[in-house]
Chain A
Amino acid sequence: MSTFLQQLINGISLGAIYSLIALGYTMVYGVLKLINFAHGDVYMVGAFMGYYLANGLGQRGAQMLGMNPDGVVGRGLLGGGTLEPSLITALVVMLLAMAICAAIGVIIERLAYRPVRKYSRLTALITAIGVSLLLENGGQVVFGAEPKFFPELFRKRNFDLVSGVTINSADVVVLIIALALMIALQLIVYRTKTGRAMRAVSFNLQSAKLMGINTDRIIAFTFALGSALAAAAGVLVAIRIPRIDPLMGILIGLKAFVAAVLGGIGNIPGAMLGGLLIGITETMVVGYLSPTYKDAVAFAILILILLFRPSGLLGTVAQEKV
């Protein structure tokens, strides 16, 4: 029983990450009807931004100050000094990475997606594939192809819950932050004017334009938001599993997309639910069946969902109009 509980906890931790990335997918799809293949790669860029912020700034900063670089992580932004590994450091690094990736998301949208908006969705999809490839291979050139080791942003500890079931403090942090971000997103989308504009654009782009909404800006904002979430996921994952490489976003991006579809694409609580479900299912399959079929799990779920309930678990069934 304790093994089962442990696996459940493992699954929830994994699922939280999928949820975060799925949120970005679902938002962009809801607004633009575009599967942003590059989303998983923004997640990767987020992880690397976190790496350079934490590593480069911290250690080189210390060296420049003539201090001992060991154990030093982030250069102080709150005035002077250097930051020790702690929760605050992790949050700061994460927020900075989020900001950078939000900017990157907006740039990608402006340069690559806006020019093809007037073309068919097929064209937009292929452009997304192109951007994804560019980020991956560009990442290999710029960051270097071999995996890097993400520095420890805060000391991790194990907590024993029930007998034999341990949970790591990193997992707890990931869960809490993921939850907080999701709640924040929900608030933005349903309680603010911009959020209302986003929902309007997702219903009908042309009508929203006619109602005076600056659709370009709303779309840019959506991308920024989604990319920020992906970056957060990237940093959080890197905290849990400290190895990052330029190709880490491909598979996880696809699985997160499956999570979004599972929950109902365009539906925010659906993305959260989908992510958790996929995370748990995957972990259970690995733990109880065979780890080699791990990657097939997400795709199998996708196929089943699209066959039997294409609108997703929490989505509304749309009638096809002529």
Chain B
Amino acid sequence: MPRYLRNLILALIVIGVLVGLDFVFQAGIINPYYTRILMLCGISITLAVSLNLINGFTGQFSIGHAGFMAVGAYSSAYFSVNYGMNLANSLGGGKLGWIVALLLTTIVGAVVAGIAGLAVGIPSLRLRGDYLAIVTLGFGQIIVVFLNNIEAVGGARGYSGIPIVKSFFWIFLIAVLTIVIVYNIVNSAFGRALISIREDELAAEAMGVNTTRYKVMAFVISSAMAGAGGVLLAHFDGYLNPKSFEFIKSFEILIMIILGGLGSIVGSVIGAIVLTILPESLRGFAEYRMVIYSLLLIILMITRPQGLLGSANAFKGFRKRLRRLTEGPSGTASSATQSETSVGGDRR
């Protein structure tokens, strides 16, 4: 059957499943506490998969993701509070009105975050590796500092009064959309260009790939999706505080995709779920929670830096390259010369 028809049917099935699950959760059969955790998982999936696009598939080490989340969250919150409510009411105050308002606010959040991504990406993506990491970290911090000072969104006191939308359907629709978008990008010519940039940027440039353009594009898309995640967060508890978007948040998402394996969408999903549920199950050891986290991270890096599903990725053929990417050549003298020129090593 023709491709588009098959995709259409697939999409309808997914939406049907989501709507069905949404009814189940709304009926309150399942404990609201579990539902809450599940929905937080959905948000984490959106954030993790979007970060993986730039870190895992394009190989650019960005650790300012929380900044874009914040931008998306705050801009959509501002929109919701000042325009969204009126919009929904003027459209009759019924379900349709709310859906439209929600749609608009999500678009606002994603677009503004994307623009922020553009603003940050263009100057930063000239840099490599460690420097890029620190610059993105810096931008993330600057965004938080600015948010602390903007009175219109509450400043350091936080922004409250955001309409609360705890919709399983909405959250997981965005999560599924994120996955679909990233999957399609990765399996397209665009994605091949990104992966070539990750593998060897100089070679890609030499082969005529406009690396800056692709890097920026991936960055913008990734930030926009992070912004969408931020929108979900903002409307989850109806309250935002700049403190929740400091670099520790970026690290949390980074750990999710490291755990799942860079360059693996399924891995990011699993990593996101595991690391959202883990704090809850460790609630008994609340004090030691973060200590266990950090120990896990270190041990993970030492023993299995490619993460759970690191060697499985969208492009089966590149599995070997990916392994060398994260493992690097072993430190024997014979491969000493290899390390300077081959994949992995310290070009990034």
Contact = CB atoms under 8 A, between A and B. Distances in A.
A240 interface: no
Interface string B277-305: 00000000001101101110110011001
Contacts of B129: 121-122
B127 A121 contact: no
Interface stretch (A6-14, A66-74, A127-135): A127-135
Interface in B125-143: 126-127, 129-131, 133-135, 137-139, 141-142
A292 B148 contact: yes
Nearest to A251: B141
B142 A137 contact: no
Contact of A120 (B137, B258, B295, B344): B344
B145 A120 contact: no
A116 interface: yes
A254 B202 CA distance: 30
Given A120-B344, A292-B148, A130 B297 contact: yes
B275 to A, nearest CB: 13
Nearest to B126: A307
A72 to B, nearest CB: 33
A307 B124 CA distance: 8
Interface string B328-345: 111101001001000011
A130 B259 CA distance: 13
B291 A130 contact: no
A302 B141 CA distance: 12
Interface stretch (A86-94, A146-154, A190-198, A293-301): A293-301
A126 interface: yes
A117 interface: yes
A303 B302 contact: no
B2 interface: no
Interface residues of A, number: 47
A119 B345 CA distance: 7
B61 A115 contact: no
B138 A123 contact: no
Given A118-B328, A302-B138, A123 B301 contact: yes
B297 A116 contact: no
Interface in A264-315: 290, 292-293, 295-296, 298-300, 302-303, 306-307, 310
A141 interface: yes
A206 B333 CA distance: 8
**Contact-residue bracket for chain B:** 35 or more
Nearest to B329: A118
A138 interface: yes
A132 B254 CA distance: 15
The main secondary structure of chain B at its interface with chain A is helix
A218 interface: no
A133 B251 contact: yes
The main secondary structure of chain A at its interface with chain B is helix
B145 A134 contact: no
Nearest to A117: B331
A261 B134 contact: yes
Contact of A310 (B127, B288, B290, B325): B127
B301 A127 contact: yes
Contact of A299 (B127, B139, B287, B294): B139
Contact of B137 (A133, A136, A138, A254): A254
A35 interface: yes
B327 interface: yes
A271 B137 CA distance: 20
Given A121-B129, A134-B295, A303-B139, A116 B329 contact: no
Contacts of A223: none
A257 B345 contact: no
Nearest to A257: B134
A303 B133 contact: no
Contacts of B305: 116, 119-120, 123, 126
A306 B127 contact: yes
Given A120-B345, A303-B139, A125 B130 contact: yes
A300 B134 CA distance: 12
Given A118-B329, A121-B346, A126-B305, 6 more contacts: A35-B134, A123-B301, A126-B258, A290-B149, A299-B138, A303-B139
The 9 closest A-B pairs by CB, nearest first: A299-B138, A130-B297, A133-B294, A137-B290, A134-B294, A130-B298, A296-B145, A127-B301, A206-B336
Interface of B: 61, 123-124, 126-127, 129-131, 133-135, 137-139, 141-142, 145-146, 148-149, 202, 251, 254, 258, 287-288, 290-291, 293-295, 297-298, 301-302, 305, 325-331, 333, 336, 339, 344-346, 348
11 contacts: A115-B302, A118-B329, A120-B305, A122-B129, A138-B294, A258-B134, A261-B131, A292-B145, A293-B149, A298-B138, A307-B123
